[in-house]
Amino acid sequence: MRWHHRLSVALRGWFRSSAVDRELDEELQFHFDRQVDDYIAGGMSLEQARRAAAIAIGNRDSIREISRDGRAGAWLRQFGRDTVFGVRLLVKAPAFALSSIAIMALGIGSVAAIFSVVYGVVLKPLPFRDPGRLVQVWSLNNGQRDGVNGADHRDWRAANTVFTDIALVNNLANFNLTGSGEPERLLGARIGANLLPVLGVSPMLGRNFSDEEDEAGGNNRVVLLSHALWQRRFASDQSIVGRSISLAGVPHEVVGVMGPTFSIPAAISSFGCR
C-alpha cells in the first residue's frame, strides 16, 4: 500500500468516521442476507435461518468496535473522547477538579524535585576533566568509612601503583574573613597542591599552590578565591593576586582565582585519578 493511499485511508477514518460505519453496516447486512439465503436453501425456515445467520456473523456492535480500533489514528480519537469526557467531569464537579489539579501538581513537583536531586548527586557527571576516571578513596575504621589523614595520604602516594595521582581534600569548613568591609563567614576547604591537576583545572587568575607550600611546615598561609567571592567581595579586581587577606585574624596571601564553574568536591577525603 502506497503512502498516499494509507494517508487517504487515515484521513477518511478521522473525518468521515460515520460514513465508514455506515459502509460497515451495509457490508454486514449484505453478508447476513447472503447467509440467510444459504440457510433457507438448505431447508431451514426463515426464522431459523435468521437466527443461525446472526450466530454465524457475530455481534455487530463488537465488530464495529473492533473495526474502529483497527483504523488509523484510533488512539488519537480515543484520546480526544477521553479528554472531552474528563473535561466534562471536571466542569461538573469543580471542587473535585481543583483537588485533582492540586494533587497532580504536587505529584509532578515532588517527582521533579527528587529527579533533580538524584541527577545532581548521582547521574550528572562531575564537572572536571575525564570524570569517568575520577574515583573517591577512603580508609576503613572498624568496618566503617573514615577520612584520610595527611600521613596516610603521603604513604598512599608513595606506594601508589594504581592511580595517576591521589589528591587530598579536607572536609568543608567555615573561615571568617575580616579586614576591609564587613566580617563574613566563608565556606572553604584545605586541599593538596595536586588536587587541581588531578581534576584537570587551573586557576583563572594567578597560580595553583606549589609543592613547597603543600609540605608540612611550609608556608600554608596561601589561598585560592572562588570566582563568586572574587566578584562580590573584591569587585573583580585583577590585582587581587599577591595581596593579603585576613582569615580568622591570620593574614593569607591570595595566589589565584578559580573560574566561574569550579567548585570543591564536597564530603570527600581523597580523590584519585585512574
Task: Give pLDDT, residue 16.
Answer: 57
Task: Give pLDDT, residue 86.
Answer: 79
Residue range of the domain that includes 13:
3-92
Task: Give pLDDT, residue 88.
Answer: 84
Q: Could you count the other beta carbons within 10 Å of the beta carbon of residue 257?
A: 25
Q: Are residues 105 and 21 in the same domain?
A: no
Q: What value does the mean pLDDT take over residues 55-76?
A: 70
Angstrom distance (rounded) from CA 2 to CA 41:
42
Task: Give pLDDT, residue 230.
Answer: 93
Q: Are residues 229 and 140 in the same domain?
A: yes
The helix or strand, by DSSP H or E, that contains position 141, with its residue range, turns out to be: strand 139-141
Q: What value does the mean pLDDT take over residues 116-142?
A: 77
Q: Between residues 253 and 135, which one has the greater pLDDT?
A: 253
The distance from CA 116 to its chain's CA centroid, rounded to whole angstroms, is 6
Q: Are residues 33 and 82 in the same domain?
A: yes
Q: Are residues 160 and 182 in the same domain?
A: yes
Instruction: Report residue 36 as a C-alpha cell.
Output: 440467510
Whether 274 has a pLDDT exceeding 50, the answer reads no
Query: Each residue of 222-250: pLDDT tens digit?
Result: 999 999 999 999 999 999 999 999 988 88
Picking from 103, 124, 145, the residue at the C-terminal end of a domain is 124
| pLDDT band (50, 70, 90) for residue 267 | very low
Angstrom distance (rounded) from CA 57 to CA 66:
14
Beta-carbon-side half-sphere exposure of residue 49 (alpha carbons within 13 Å): 16
Q: Are residues 175 and 188 in the same domain?
A: yes
Q: What value does the mean pLDDT take over residues 177-197?
A: 85
Q: Are residues 20 and 99 in the same domain?
A: no
Query: Each residue of 149-182: pLDDT tens digit?
Result: 778 888 888 898 888 888 888 767 788 898 777 8
Q: Are residues 249 and 135 in the same domain?
A: yes
Q: Are residues 159 and 201 in the same domain?
A: yes
Q: What value does the mean pLDDT take over residues 108-137?
A: 79
Phi, then psi, of 136 in degrees rounded to 5: -95, 135
Q: Are residues 115 and 54 in the same domain?
A: no
Picking from 124, 139, 170, the residue at the C-terminal end of a domain is 124
Query: Each residue of 78-121: pLDDT tens digit?
Result: 777 788 887 887 788 888 878 888 898 899 988 888 888 777 66
The helix or strand, by DSSP H or E, that contains position 158, with its residue range, turns out to be: helix 150-159
| Count of domains observed in the chain | 3
Q: Are residues 149 and 86 in the same domain?
A: no
Cross-strand pairs, 168: 270
Q: Are residues 45 and 84 in the same domain?
A: yes
Q: Please, where are the H alpha helices in 93-144?
A: 94-118
Q: Are residues 55 and 72 in the same domain?
A: yes
